Chains A and B, each alone.
Chain A
Amino acid sequence: MLSIRKLGKHFGGLTVLEDVSFDVPLGGIFGLIGPNGAGKTTVFNLITGLLKPSTGTISLEGRDLAGLAPHQVTRLGIARTFQNIRIFKEMTLLENVLVGMHDKLGYGALGPFLISRAFRSAEAQGREWALELLSWVRLEHRAGMLADNLSYGDQRKLEFARALATQPRLLLLDEPVAGMNPAEKTVLMEEIQNISQRGFGVFLIEHDMRFVMGLCERIVVLNFGRIIAEGSPEEVRNNPEVIEAYLGREDDGASV
């Protein structure tokens, strides 16, 4: 379980998050929703160590994540994707996924310099596993292609595969369908369900209500840096405060 307790973040005098507490299970699909600018991505940045919390704690299975660098958080089993896709564009798909395995290939920095069997077999296994991950998102036939040449939807799928390569217990997805067309959204929704069924915990941020309602088992709603509701999709949908928060901001496309 990922536990967030009394989390707060200030930038100078500006309070972005205040007194945020909730638990994310390491299984199933959990959603964090809220209008644009509610502070959702800040929550992810705090969890992954890109930002330091001003107050409060974040812990994974009882282990405090305070003061850990991003790569250490990743090694503890938390992976993430970005709202604006950040794949390595000048690498092939296979290499992208292999980068995700960085910490899992069991040879040291000097390994490649020696003609060692351990190096070769680790690389071969890594490749095999990377192809397997690419096949999960149905991209294995493009393994040798440069990532830059993929369509937007496929780039997102590659980002999923790359994140899974770190062998996470919890996968954080930051607005995975932002900017996608309806067909791509449907495909990605299936992929996310597949990932969850393979036993990975999924924690996603979204402001598209309809998308989250069909996908998540449990949802927290954030507005102006505070939690205003938590519960099943049904409960959240009928919560007057949530309706107020979203209706008041109809123009930013929250309900599209």
Chain B
Amino acid sequence: MEWLANFWATYSTLIYSIGVYALVALSIWLTLACGLLSLANAAFMGIGAYVSALLSLQAGWPFWAVLVAAGLAPAGVALIIGIPTLRLSGVYLAMATLAFGEVVRIIILNLEITGGPEGLNGIPQSTRGWHIVAILGLAVYGLARMRRSRTGRAFEAIREDEVAASLMGIDVKRHKLFAFVLGAVLAGVAGGLNAHATFFISPREYGFENAVDILTMVVFGGIGGLVGPMVGAGILTLLPELLRFLHEFRGIFNGLVLILVVLFLPKGIWEPRRIRALFGLGPKEG
């Protein structure tokens, strides 16, 4: 059992980040499922991380309350910016959410209370493995049920054809806002978990590159369902570690994998129908 203890000591941070990024990937999946290309989720994650860390450090709140706040704070922000922003579509929405993300990052970078570029140190390490598993499980369960409900169908209808969806009696604006805010909650909680797992947070972890990384995980994994984003988060979090032997060149591999998946696996690497076919089980339905 000693090797297990060693293994855990070495890799627990990595395994935590896989769980955390799976949660964030789900948050972006949720907005994409509704046809929204939002790059704000890294910022929502940052808001969750900073709010929860500050409440732990300065107000001494218990961990569970801190996590609730980590979800609610970005949700409030999402509600406020969502109402005007979600009128934009496609690339314009992506650019607006990107600009918003930069504003958040720069504000964090310049406030005194957030520790500026040095970030926050000494955050209590309250996050346990089972916290992440439980919250991720809850999120997957909830989203899976939602997909099979009228809300999930409404999201898909909006993604395919907004006008037709509105003429089915679906309030398109409200559903988009709901997806955006719920996505912010998931990202914020993930941020809270992350802050209390890593001891230390800094503005660098929540910028444009991270927004893009998260989006990449989802596209890489596949947006057709809930498993794809999590698989994508897992692989892309592990990949840099697995490629350590390539030293400075591992980024090249990382980038190439991304290009190849986009070119040759348009539905992401997790595509149940193709995987079933690969194992000779054939498609479920024609």
Contacts and interface: CB of A to CB of B under 8 A. Distances in A.
B156 A88 contact: yes
B170 A90 contact: no
B168 to A, nearest CB: 5
Interface string A192-229: 00000000000000000000000000000000000000
A50 B166 CA distance: 9
A18 to B, nearest CB: 25
Contacts of B24: none
B275 interface: no
B183 to A, nearest CB: 15
B87 interface: no
A189 B10 CA distance: 71
A98 interface: yes
A102 B163 contact: no
B161 A112 contact: no
Interface string B169-180: 111100000100
B34 to A, nearest CB: 13
A151 B46 CA distance: 49
B273 to A, nearest CB: 12
Nearest to A111: B149
A112 B172 contact: no
A119 interface: yes
A46 to B, nearest CB: 13
Interface in A94-149: 95, 98-103, 105, 107, 109, 111-113, 119, 123, 126, 144-145
A88 B160 contact: yes
Nearest to A122: B150
Given A71-B169, A86-B164, A98-B153, A113 B178 contact: no
Given A102-B154, A102-B169, A113 B146 contact: yes
A155 interface: no
Nearest to A88: B160
Contact of B146 (A50, A98, A102, A112): A112
A89 B142 CA distance: 26
Interface stretch (A8-16, A27-35, A72-80): A72-80
A100 B146 contact: no
Given A99-B168, A99-B170, A112-B148, A70 B163 contact: yes
Interface string A25-56: 00000000000000000000000101000000
Size class of B's contact patch?
Answer: 20 to 34
A235 B171 CA distance: 42
A180 interface: no
A112 B168 contact: no
Contacts of A80: 167
A109 B168 contact: no
Nearest to B166: A70
B145 interface: yes
Contacts of B145: 112-113
Contact of B151 (A74, A75, A109): A109
Given A70-B163, A99-B168, 5 more contacts: A70-B166, A90-B156, A100-B168, A102-B170, A145-B285
Interface of A: 48, 50, 69-71, 74-75, 79-80, 82, 86-91, 95, 98-103, 105, 107, 109, 111-113, 119, 123, 126, 144-145, 162, 165-166
28 contacts: A70-B163, A71-B166, A71-B169, A71-B172, A74-B169, A79-B167, A86-B161, A86-B163, A88-B156, A88-B160, A88-B161, A95-B156, A98-B153, A99-B153, A99-B156, A99-B165, A99-B168, A100-B168, A101-B150, A107-B149, A107-B150, A112-B149, A112-B151, A119-B149, A123-B149, A162-B168, A165-B168, A166-B169
